[in-house]
Chains A and B, each alone.
Chain A
Amino acid sequence: MKYWPSLALSIFVFFCLWLPSSVGQAKAPAPGKLLPRFEIPPPQRPIDAQYLGVQDKESFWITDIDAQLVIIEIFSMYCPFCQREAPRINELYEKIESDPQLKGKIKIIGVGAGNSPFEVNFFRKKFNVPFPMFPDNDFAIHKTLGEVRTPYFIVVSNLPDHCPTVIYSKLGSIKNMDEFLKHISKKLSSEAQE
């Protein structure tokens, strides 16, 4: 029993070293790395479930989405940058949907960091966002993705029988939508050849 204080101190030092480092491990996913796993809540609107191909799922993961590339926008209703970016991301969606080479192969989802379902719905209605948006009420997804600032864009290669791999990961506005689409579409054509 006389060793109790030193034992307690050892355990304490271990936890001090372990917990902060484990919390700090979550970094923004870098291109070439696997996307860390997180659960996405079921879409609220049938049209969103249909778009993603995740009908009848309680919750889902990127590999469940019927697309070769998935663009993930981390946003917040409260973020002025995300508010300014919203019409441009709608344009991106329209560009993809109107291009027969891209439609069905590239899909977009939004994740509202720290936003409730009410707040995400408000944002979606305010900007007429046509793609699915999901609440991340308790920042769980946001923490998994390295607590990035918003808006943050991650593009994931989502080949069947492969783990989802990050091909694009950047903070802030997508400056040139056409360049961006061209850049990620290259991955699409190279995947077609594999």
Chain B
Amino acid sequence: MKRKIASILIAFYLVLVSFVFAQTHSLSFKDEIYNPGILKPTDSVLKVKVGDKAPNFTLPCLSGKKISLHQFLGGKNVVLSFVPAAWTPVCSDQWPGYNLAKEIFDQYDAILLGISVDNIPTLYAWTRQMGDLWFRVLSDFWPHGQVASEYGILRSDGMAERALFVIDKKGIIRYIDVHNINERPRLEALVKALEELGQ
């Protein structure tokens, strides 16, 4: 009985504390960001691994064109940056950092594809707040999260994980980071993964 009460109290307290700390990381976009609070760090099971051929996909881009992964085969290394949702705190800070770091991607002959399960109009409005992005932003909205699902990073709530995949020019996955959804991946980890492509 005592244990039961204690467990309930602790669980309730942790939920309360999580709510308090959930308010901490919203830095940009004034008051236009929806804060979902602290979420389960990861909520999916990967279906690919390092060394696998990356599943091909074709998705609509903000420009209106369709972009396929295999069009970069033999030409460019590809970084896929899946973010969970537009207008949320960590996601809104992640791509502007990559936007600043174009020279790093150029240095390793890589392109970046930003992918979210949001629809095109939402992604358009959201990314306009980031300024002019040099990389393509793709919508995995319909069929909902199909690409995220094929890679094994579609969460049970319909969002994608915060995940990075580095794919070499032969179409082989060389790096996977399914990150804690509540935190931004460090830039240096991605740089290290790109560095290792040449080794």
Residues of chain A at the chain B interface (Cβ within 8 Å): 4-5, 8-9, 12, 15-16, 19-20, 23-24, 76-81, 83-84, 113-114, 116, 118-119, 122-123, 126, 139, 143, 147, 149-150
Contacts and interface: CB of A to CB of B under 8 A. Distances in A.
B13 interface: yes
Interface in B88-135: 93-94, 96-97, 99-101, 129-131
Report whether over half of chain B's contact residues are helix, strand or loop; otherwise say mixed: helix
Contacts of B186: 116, 118-119
Interface stretch (B15-23, B61-69, B136-144, B158-166): B15-23
A118 B188 CA distance: 6
Contacts of B5: 5, 8-9
A80 B129 contact: yes
B28 interface: yes
14 contacts: A9-B5, A19-B20, A23-B20, A76-B27, A77-B97, A78-B94, A79-B28, A79-B96, A83-B131, A118-B191, A119-B186, A122-B100, A122-B187, A143-B24
A149 B27 contact: yes
Interface string B19-45: 011011111101000000000000000
Interface size, B (range): 20 to 34
Nearest to B28: A79
Contacts of A123: 100
A78 B96 contact: yes
Contacts of B16: 16, 19-20
Given A24-B20, A78-B96, 16 more contacts: A8-B5, A8-B6, A9-B5, A12-B9, A15-B13, A19-B17, A78-B184, A79-B27, A80-B131, A83-B131, A84-B131, A118-B188, A118-B191, A119-B97, A122-B101, A122-B187
